[in-house]
Structure 1
């Protein structure tokens, strides 16, 4: 239907799956996307900026992709860090099915894809990468970020890509105030109109 959004829990529009060729962690892969998901034609510009600018994720422990979509970020983390457990979370059932399928195709056996409630409540993360769903609205976005960022391990890092035109600078200021003195929030990269923000957990 026309009112489907990529953050709809159960899109009602026909899926119309399609194959796309992408390069993740240096590997060219044929993956599947569909209608009713974010960026069905390939890797969007923001995600490309994120993946092209961040350091490698932690080599082991628990890693997280918030708003995983059809899986490019979670799969990249998993291929870089085969000894880690990568969690990809989203609310759209269609993209969850796609991400599971794509992780299997990519040989990323260390990826676990599911709804946010599927992640153990006591789990802490060494690395978080995210192209967060800005268009859900400011209040809901803030709720999402404050659900996951406080679950960084001490010395862990989160890397978020946000369009400057969609509030990247104001989000940086808000995160600094909301997270408090245990976290350091800095701008790591500016590229193609996007900000990559680093959130570092310095202390409990």
Structure 2
């Protein structure tokens, strides 16, 4: 039985592979590993998100939910050095990779942690996420309902059209979150979800 990227403790043997991410004037050397989403590469959905979402908020706390080895979080941290970027995942190997990748890039504004380690009083200017669709619809809905109430600005979610981006957008609307398709590219949708301040 192989590990899922949302496993807390991957059992597959560590087999690190590095590559260079270059998007929007940011260049990062990132190490990935077995048992973590998109080993050895930048997955297509994350690239679509980083290349098509608006410029990140200038200040405040930013959230990368389901961060994996950290491409979104580290890209945000490089773009916005005055912000604190929270890289949140349940996969301990992924979180270790975020920490080592941040150290390599000398990005001191990244906090890699499990969900329960984020202080309850922290609110976020924005959330950026390639969410764990393959964890299942119920788990995904529970995850989003836990974090969306803590977002003051917008959330940007990238989801494959073939994996239910349009039905997720409808469901978010049914939960009271104004959701629109910000962009569509290469079979992926970038959804913009209005946060509490935008809705007020």
Give the secondary structure class of the aligned counterpart of 1:196.
Answer: strand
Matches within 5 A, 1:75-86: 75-86=74-85
Give the secondary structure class of the aligned counterpart of 1:125.
Answer: coil
- 2:186 aligned with 1:192: yes
Count of residue pairs brought into register by the alignment: 198
Give the secondary structure class of the aligned counterpart of 2:143.
Answer: helix
Query: 1:126 Cα shift?
Result: 0.5
| Equivalent-residue separation in structure 1 for 2:28 and 2:149 (angstroms) | 33
**RMSD, aligned CA:** 1.1
- The answer to whether the 8 A contact 1:25-1:76 is kept is no
- The answer to whether the 8 A contact 1:59-1:82 is kept is no
- The answer to whether the 8 A contact 1:131-1:161 is kept is yes
Matches within 5 A, 1:154-193: 156-178=153-175, 180=176, 183-193=177-187
- Matched with 2:125 is 126
| Equivalent-residue separation in structure 2 for 1:25 and 1:85 (angstroms) | 19
TM-score, normalization: structure 2? 0.95
- Matched with 1:94 is 93
| Equivalent-residue separation in structure 2 for 1:77 and 1:170 (angstroms) | 28
- Matched with 1:203 is 199
| Equivalent-residue separation in structure 2 for 1:107 and 1:48 (angstroms) | 22
Query: 1:107 Cα shift?
Result: 1.9
Structure 2 runs not aligned, ≥5 long: none
Point out the more displaced range, 86-95 or 21-30: 21-30
Query: 1:25 Cα shift?
Result: 4.5
- The answer to whether the 8 A contact 2:36-2:94 is kept is yes
| Equivalent-residue separation in structure 2 for 1:143 and 1:34 (angstroms) | 27
Point out the more displaced range, 20-29 or 94-103: 20-29
Query: 1:192 Cα shift?
Result: 0.5
TM-score, normalization: structure 1? 0.94
- Matched with 2:105 is 106
- Matched with 1:59 is 58
Q: Which runs of 4+ in 1 moved over 6 A?
A: none
